[in-house]
Amino acid sequence: MTIEQAVLENLRELPVDKQQEVLDFIQFLKHKLSAEKSHIKPDGETFWEMTLRFRERMDREGVEFTDEDFANLRDRSLGREIDFV
């Protein structure tokens, strides 16, 4: 049984007014997801345009990066041992 089939089966057991609430909520979610998908990478958007959009969003949300955020991120180990036998 798919998730869609399970939802439909359980939906039938609800009162009619609750069925409509669930259907309205599903429509809301579908609309929200399609809007988010179209916002992720509109056709023809270049890497630079995506970078600018990312920066604008970080500015809007008040996110700031400093050099300290990236300090000590590099793995300075020699890596795994290799057995040349």
pLDDT tens for each residue of 11-23: 888 888 888 888 8
Whose CA is closest to 22, among 7, 34, 35, 9?
7
Whose CA is closest to 22, among 33, 32, 10, 34?
10
Arithmetic mean of pLDDT, 24-33: 82
Q: Where are the domains of the chain?
A: 3-62
- The upper half-sphere exposure of residue 24, i.e. CA atoms within 13 Å in the direction of its Cβ, equals 6
pTM of the model: 0.37
Residue pair 73/82 in contact by the 8 Å Cβ criterion: no
